[in-house]
Structure 1
């Protein structure tokens, strides 16, 4: 509705400033650069878990710019419908900018004022909303008078990158792009360099993406970030993990020790230190560090997940010892039973505190299968597959893990093949897609071992080659499959489609 306001200094019932329509104001708001225009969607996050994490990060800061956290926290609280509390956090952001900004660099206020304008608009306090738009216009006009008039862009893109990176792992690629834009304008900024290096590091490792030493872009970026900010202990831990991934663990250990000296009480450092120890086989040391971190942030789903992984590793290590020593038909000892229960408990806590934690659900299902609680494992896989807004990579990982469970634990070849196919059809190159392909090929090998003329074996290989874009090979295998199963509709359809492509 195009409600107009009467002339005057105050607000009338409609709440719009003199001569200004609600739609005009809405149009101006859409032009602002702030959390409300950055597509930070509620459906992509566990909102309660994110709010808890932001409160923890304010207590144990991961960036020296606290106003960034207050701004994002305000937006998150607004998503929960509490606009009054949201505005209270914007005021804290504004106070933090004033405290840390004695030179009065106005560009730091741009995102905060944009969020204010949106908040007041949603409260139907349109005159207040317009006042903040006017403040933004004034800052922008002042910046244009400066010789380096683009500095505001660096601040905005830097904050956008940080918000995306913190909000959801699904936004990692967008965050990387925002930090890159910020660095085009302000290449020496330590915060944006740390953010960019972190985003690239996460992007390389997210969902099991494959990154060889020659393809690794995060390593020089992490080193650069540390050169610009030697006190960034968390980035040092990420560098240590990257070096470990590249078989340079000894070098990485030095960075771990430096980081621990700098920030021994930071839970965000400790969790990465624990990851380094666990991957190095130092599971007890990893657990010691994680318990310290858990005391500081008891509702951290990340830390519970990492503790679950450590206890799971203890079980797998025991199994490997018995396998090497060729001990058959062993009975599970009491200590092992308790370790298994503890692992399950921590994974359960992880999904309790973050209800969209896909990786933790998968690990919980795996732990149930190790404990031979197959029904609970099956129910967990089924549950997580019903989640809305799963990414392609998440679907791949679930289907790969579910397929392994069906093949190795339930001994169901047909169900395993179904899940391997679904994961493999998603064309995202990572280790989970590779795992699905390996599963299908092994299934075909097993079929041929039993019967060299098994149509399903040929059909599976035809499916693999088709989805790898090797048309002629796929046609060959489908034609072989149809020799032994001439009426199979799936093979006939796929073969027809492949010949049309040629």
Structure 2
């Protein structure tokens, strides 16, 4: 029981005892006999005792009632106290939970404060660098800039994936802390001779939105500059000064259109029409940037796709083929009087663009325009012979993101086609047919017959151009029949007629002698006479030296072919003799391969090896076949196996394109089979060559060799059968 309740109860009992004592006094007197004699009772005493008994019972009942009331009140007070205790307990628990939460919040705040402290320390360090950079002198020399770059450069890293071209580098982006350094470097880069010599460009890194805005505004800026105004960019905005007073130019209000930036209900203002979209230089401009760009891009791409130029002729060469073509075109030469000089430059421009050399591509396209104008010599600056060239330039500028320039050349193409329509409806202009045919001849035998057809169409519309007739015949020779089989009589007659019309073309003369020899005619004297003419001409792949040497090797003597090649090298004054050296290397190679019973003397073998090594260095990007030839020459020597193995292993470890890998696998398989006597490995490499889905003579050769090996009942006959069946499926 609670102490307060117990104290109250004790107080009530004391009151009760007092009441009982006051209502029932003691009846016995100390001096009476009755009182002193126990066991003696009188009637008087009994009567008083009854009365006292009744009084005591009544008092006890009252006391009991009061006690019950006190107990009830105590219980009520106890229940109230118990409720108070429970409330206090709950409040204590709630306070404890709040304290725990506050403790966690204090921990979080402590961590946050630590983080902020760390950031403050970092910022203080950066501020120290900035203060140090800001204290540098404003006038800075290049040497000081180089020494202080670590104060102003924040981040440097490369952009984008590595280019497939091994000679090009990835772009580098630099973020500066110091605007002073950045502006100084930016300004000096524009006039730096060192950067120009090394072909290094420095330009501002703009956001995609700013680039798009500048591309749209560039035609206006360019036009303003042509009109003698000062115009440039500031961010995504174009700033154009007012009309030059000296120019006297005025706006032609009859051609003006207004494009409102905000909603406008007017259809015209000051008699100038208000349009929802306007077209400027073929570029559609409206308030919806995405829609405008999409429409303009779609229109531009549709026009570009309809052009007749190298970018739309489905040439699709491999990278190794591009390098071979680049070297071949260089060997053709562009000496004065070459009727295909403009076409050579045009194709060189396309090849260099595909290889990633955009500046060289633009240079070649510009040379092509000059050469075509010079060769035609019509008195007109432009003509239909420029349609392909302008188409190439339109594509080049489009690929470089220079849409205004691209549109300019598209307009030039449209003008030329309208001014010089094709003589035959539904056909291309003969100038376009001729250049397209000449180009296709350089991209494989499968395109040569199509080239012959295009030449025939061009000649039908314009029959007076001799070089077209000559190239038409050469396309027929290259595309018809097998190289070792004689041509049909009608084609031979066409060669004869073309030779009569183009007597100075010694390449065609060599082809004519070759076809006559296939039919059993005696040509030795004519070949020797032709040799004197060829040796007097400047060396190039069009001079006829290569087919002439083939005539010597096939119908006269391989040794005389070597002597003729060496004589050509001695007569050549020009230091660029690489094509002649390649032709000479071929003569030595054929001599070593064919006459095993009559080997060359060591001095000439050394000459053959040195020529091949020199040719490899002169054609670093297109010399896979020359390296294979050198390996096979080593294989024919008594102590050259190790050198041959090393060359082949180096080539096998090189990342070659499928066509070159097919050549390598086929030649290496033959080397393994005939020189190393390793038939198992040879079969594997013939299979690897045949598996490459590139239709070529090397693939056919590997399939033939596999069939021959199977016919010899080799222990791998079953595997060869299974492979050939799978290959056929």
Does the TM-score normalized on the shorter chain lie above 0.5?
A: yes
Q: Confirm or deny: 8 A CA contact 1:190 1:229 kept in the other structure.
A: yes
Moved more, 263-272 or 456-465: 456-465
Q: What count of residue pairs does the alignment treat as equivalent?
A: 440
Specify which of 136, 141, 155 is matched with residue 418 of structure 2: 141
1:156 paired residue number? 432
Matched, 1:232 2:500: no
CA distance in 1, matches of 2:338, 2:545: 16
Instruction: Trace 1:187-202 onto structure 2 (pairs within 5 A).
Output: 187=460, 188=463, 189-202=465-478
CA distance in 1, matches of 2:446, 2:707: 31
User: Aligned in 2, Cα 1:468/1:44: closer, same or farther, shift over 3 Å?
Assistant: closer
User: Which has the greater radius of gyration?
Assistant: 2
1:29 paired residue number? 304
The superposition leaves residues 466-489 of structure 1 with CA deviations (integer Å, 9 ceiling, x where unpaired) of: 4897xxxxxxxxxxxxxxxxxxxx
Please state how far the C-alpha of 1:369 moved relative to its aligned partner.
0.8
Q: Confirm or deny: 8 A CA contact 2:455 2:469 kept in the other structure.
A: no
Specify which of 597, 601, 616 is matched with residue 351 of structure 1: 616
Please state how far the C-alpha of 1:384 moved relative to its aligned partner.
4.4
1:451 paired residue number? none
2:560 paired residue number? 285
Please state how far the C-alpha of 1:320 moved relative to its aligned partner.
1.4
Instruction: Trace 1:133-282 onto structure 2 (pairs within 5 A).
Output: 133-144=410-421, 147-148=423-424, 152-166=428-442, 170-187=443-460, 188=463, 189-203=465-479, 212-213=485-486, 219-244=492-517, 246=518, 248=520, 250-251=522-523, 254=526, 257-258=529-530, 260-261=532-533, 264-267=536-539, 268=541, 269-282=544-557
Specify which of 340, 358, 367 is matched with residue 633 of structure 2: 367
Q: Confirm or deny: 8 A CA contact 1:273 1:289 kept in the other structure.
A: no
User: Aligned in 2, Cα 1:377/1:119: closer, same or farther, shift over 3 Å?
Assistant: same
Please state how far the C-alpha of 1:68 moved relative to its aligned partner.
1.4
Aligned to 2:444, what secondary structure does the other structure show? helix
User: Aligned in 2, Cα 1:140/1:320: closer, same or farther, shift over 3 Å?
Assistant: same
Q: Confirm or deny: 8 A CA contact 2:487 2:515 kept in the other structure.
A: no
Specify which of 97, 101, 115 is matched with residue 392 of structure 2: 115
Matched, 1:459 2:724: no
Q: Confirm or deny: 8 A CA contact 2:627 2:647 kept in the other structure.
A: yes
CA distance in 2, matches of 1:364, 1:48: 20
Please state how far the C-alpha of 1:213 moved relative to its aligned partner.
3.0
Q: Confirm or deny: 8 A CA contact 2:308 2:388 kept in the other structure.
A: yes
Please state how far the C-alpha of 1:292 moved relative to its aligned partner.
5.0
Matched, 1:419 2:685: yes
The superposition leaves residues 262-289 of structure 1 with CA deviations (integer Å, 9 ceiling, x where unpaired) of: 7732423222212211223423432343
Q: Confirm or deny: 8 A CA contact 1:233 1:260 kept in the other structure.
A: no
CA distance in 2, matches of 1:463, 1:298: 55
CA distance in 2, matches of 1:350, 1:361: 9
CA distance in 2, matches of 1:417, 1:88: 48
Q: Confirm or deny: 8 A CA contact 2:452 2:472 kept in the other structure.
A: yes
Q: TM-score, normalised by structure 2?
A: 0.52
User: Aligned in 2, Cα 1:357/1:179: closer, same or farther, shift over 3 Å?
Assistant: farther
- Taking only aligned residues, the RMSD between alpha carbons, in angstroms, comes to 4.1
Moved more, 69-78 or 109-118: 69-78
2:342 paired residue number? 67
CA distance in 2, matches of 1:282, 1:34: 44
User: Aligned in 2, Cα 1:138/1:234: closer, same or farther, shift over 3 Å?
Assistant: same
Q: Confirm or deny: 8 A CA contact 2:459 2:469 kept in the other structure.
A: no
Matched, 1:5 2:217: yes
CA distance in 2, matches of 1:119, 1:425: 37
Moved more, 408-417 or 338-347: 338-347
Moved more, 217-226 or 268-277: 217-226
User: Aligned in 2, Cα 1:238/1:460: closer, same or farther, shift over 3 Å?
Assistant: farther
Aligned to 2:645, what secondary structure does the other structure show? helix
User: Aligned in 2, Cα 1:240/1:252: closer, same or farther, shift over 3 Å?
Assistant: farther
Q: Which has the higher strand share?
A: 2
User: Aligned in 2, Cα 1:157/1:129: closer, same or farther, shift over 3 Å?
Assistant: same
Please state how far the C-alpha of 1:414 moved relative to its aligned partner.
0.8
Q: Confirm or deny: 8 A CA contact 1:226 1:235 kept in the other structure.
A: yes
Please state how far the C-alpha of 1:138 moved relative to its aligned partner.
1.1
User: Aligned in 2, Cα 1:252/1:69: closer, same or farther, shift over 3 Å?
Assistant: farther
Aligned to 1:319, what secondary structure does the other structure show? coil
Q: Confirm or deny: 8 A CA contact 1:77 1:85 kept in the other structure.
A: yes
Q: Confirm or deny: 8 A CA contact 2:686 2:706 kept in the other structure.
A: yes
Matched, 1:340 2:605: yes
Instruction: Trace 1:429-468 onto structure 2 (pairs within 5 A).
Output: 430=697, 433=700, 436-438=703-705, 440-442=707-709, 444-445=711-712, 447=714, 456=715, 458-459=717-718, 462=721, 466=725
CA distance in 2, matches of 1:7, 1:71: 27
User: Aligned in 2, Cα 1:465/1:74: closer, same or farther, shift over 3 Å?
Assistant: closer
Aligned to 1:280, what secondary structure does the other structure show? helix
Please state how far the C-alpha of 1:55 moved relative to its aligned partner.
4.5
Matched, 1:96 2:371: yes
* Consecutive unaligned residues in structure 2, runs of 5 or more: 1-207, 226-231, 239-279, 285-292
* Consecutive unaligned residues in structure 1, runs of 5 or more: 323-334, 448-455, 470-496, 498-502
Moved more, 50-59 or 123-132: 50-59
Aligned to 2:217, what secondary structure does the other structure show? coil
Please state how far the C-alpha of 1:370 moved relative to its aligned partner.
1.0
Q: Confirm or deny: 8 A CA contact 1:160 1:175 kept in the other structure.
A: no
CA distance in 1, matches of 2:473, 2:390: 28
The superposition leaves residues 206-258 of structure 1 with CA deviations (integer Å, 9 ceiling, x where unpaired) of: xxx565336799645533432442322111112323444x2536247636734
The superposition leaves residues 271-311 of structure 1 with CA deviations (integer Å, 9 ceiling, x where unpaired) of: 22122112234234323432355446765665434322322
Please state how far the C-alpha of 1:101 moved relative to its aligned partner.
3.1
